[in-house]
Structure 1
Amino acid sequence: MAAIPGRIAVLLALTLTGACAQMGDFGRPAPSAWNGLIDAAGEVAARERGEPASLFPYTDDERTLRDRAWRFLMPARERSLFEAALANLTRARVLPVAWRPSDPAAYFEAVTGEPFRSPVSRYRRLSDDLIADGRLIPAFAETAARVVRADAARLGSLPFIRTLDDADVRNAAMRVAENRCLVAWVRIETAARSASYRYALEHLMLEVPGDEAVAAERALGFLDARRRLLDPLVPPEAEARCGLVPVGEGVAAGAVLVRKG
């Protein structure tokens, strides 16, 4: 695992001893100066790692896209405040995506680690989380589609603007790459959530079988159907090009995500 740069290590220590990000309405982060500081530090850290990080201000849709992505980039249920803080640093790109390992059992362990009176409550918690995720995906997909269309217009305008310099072109390309990589990241995370939810459902059925599993299974199908809304937004190879998954067959290492013209 790569070492963390000094300035990022300091921020990590401050974050882990401070308050974790709080959820606002509709799965978005609660506005706070702390969250703003973490986001700003994440842009610096991503730039230092050579990841797409534009200096352009966000459009309204780009900001909304990031707000709506927040729910899916954070754990569905945290096992500890430490885990929540690390997840928030990863979500903000202070830490690279690879820093947080995939653990399909994490959600199940978090849910079963909570006090409960009856196994029914655990099934209901699972169903509630599944339905909540499924209901939020269309709003994210709709916003992402608008951002993708705006980015296409942005790139299409580059050959016709005579006053651009190299920095302008680079920042435009970086913003488009940022947006596409964010959508690809959410697509990965929703798939990982589905796998974690299925793991929880299967293990609940083994440990405490009950009729409530039927409703949870239907809710899982609802989420998986909604996840398909994300498929046409960015190319299938976007995850690999963005460094979110290992480079697969047909995707060259170091391939650029966007080109001028």
Structure 2
Amino acid sequence: MGERSRPLLRAAAAAALLLVVAGCSASRPTGDFGRARESVLHDEMMRAVGNLKRAHVDKKPVSNFNQTDQEREMHDRVWRYLTAAHAKDWSFDVSVEFQRTRIGVTDHKFKTDRYYKVISSDRYASSRVRYATMADHISIDIDLMPTTFRSICAVIEVDRQRAVAAAEIIGLEPAMRQQQRDRRAENDEKIGWFVRAIRYRYESFTYALEHLLVETPHEEAVRVDGLLSQLLGWVEQGERGDFCSQAGIYAEAGNGKVPSRVLMGDGKVYRK
């Protein structure tokens, strides 16, 4: 592609982006239980703009391969960790949609105080209910981790099989091998985004718990703290890139278990 065409591509990408931003809501539509719902705008138009920008402006890999069933499932399962429909966009649903469609990368700039501000500003009949709400949010994250990790593991295996086939097939076109490498890079990027997202969620929940202990201390914090220890196990396993291990991730008491953040007793808060 000639040098003269590149400014035109940049201009086209910028113009298309402005049209999307000006005319449409960027937050991806959802269906039952907060699952992503198909949308021509989000899955075709915004994706096309993002691919154009990624390939010709950002100079990053863009694969034209069809998605496997495993890749589609991974994207769907990972997506719910990138957003927070239960908490008024505290996890930046709109920004996430721009990043998902490759129009921009923003998750490195997120601050961890947003969840606390949302849950603190909600009016409850009892201040204890905030802890119960937090426990519900964290429990959902934990409960969906096993299937999400398995879906990531399945995609890692697909990429391995692609690499083996590309290396062994004699006479395979260089462009096809490049497509294989590009798709693997795309999948690695999505997995990395998931890992950053669960770390961000853990730190946001932790920030909220610590500030609620100052604002409205209750013994219900003990349950939230225990759930955070469980969530941290998944976060650290993801950061190690261990998505396919069949071994348990939680150490038993006295064998490296993550210590509790607080002890509640006599109406006071103590730090271990």
Check conservation: 1:138, 1:229, Cα contact below 8 A: no
Alignment of 1:60-209 (within 5 A): 60-75=69-84, 79=88, 83-97=92-106, 101-209=109-217
Identity within the alignment, %: 26
- Separation in 2 of the partners of 1:217 and 1:76? 23
- TM-score of the aligned structures, taking structure 2 as reference length: 0.75
Q: Which residue of 1 aligns with 2:22?
A: 13
One-letter identity of the residue aligned with 1:182: K
1:45-87 deviation digits (Å, cap 9, x = unpaired): 3323222221111000001111111112224655569x53233
Structure 2's unaligned 5+ residue stretches are 1-10, 244-272
- Separation in 2 of the partners of 1:80 and 1:97? 14
Check conservation: 1:72, 1:186, Cα contact below 8 A: yes
1:219, distance to aligned residue in structure 2 (A): 1.3
- Separation in 2 of the partners of 1:45 and 1:121? 45
- Separation in 1 of the partners of 2:72 and 2:34? 14
Q: 1:80 to 1:102 in 2, by over 3 A?
A: closer
1:170-199 deviation digits (Å, cap 9, x = unpaired): 111010111111111111110111000000
Q: Is 28-37 or 171-180 further displaced after alignment? A: 28-37
Aligned residues: 228
- Separation in 2 of the partners of 1:44 and 1:158? 26
Q: Which residue of 1 aligns with 2:259?
A: none
Q: Among 13, 33, 36, which residue is 1:29 paired with? A: 36
Larger Rg: 2
- Separation in 2 of the partners of 1:9 and 1:233? 40
Runs of 4+ that moved beyond 6 A: none
- Separation in 1 of the partners of 2:190 and 2:14? 23
Superposition RMSD in Å? 2.6
- Separation in 2 of the partners of 1:164 and 1:54? 16
Check conservation: 1:22, 1:29, Cα contact below 8 A: yes
One-letter identity of the residue aligned with 2:28: A
One-letter identity of the residue aligned with 1:145: C
Structure 1's unaligned 5+ residue stretches are 235-261
Q: Greater relative contact order: 1 or 2 (C-alpha under 8 angstroms, separation 6 or more)? A: 1
Q: 1:46 to 1:74 in 2, by over 3 A?
A: farther
One-letter identity of the residue aligned with 2:83: M
Q: 1:233 to 1:55 in 2, by over 3 A?
A: farther
Q: Is 103-112 or 22-31 further displaced after alignment? A: 22-31
- TM-score of the aligned structures, taking structure 1 as reference length: 0.77
- Separation in 2 of the partners of 1:110 and 1:225? 25
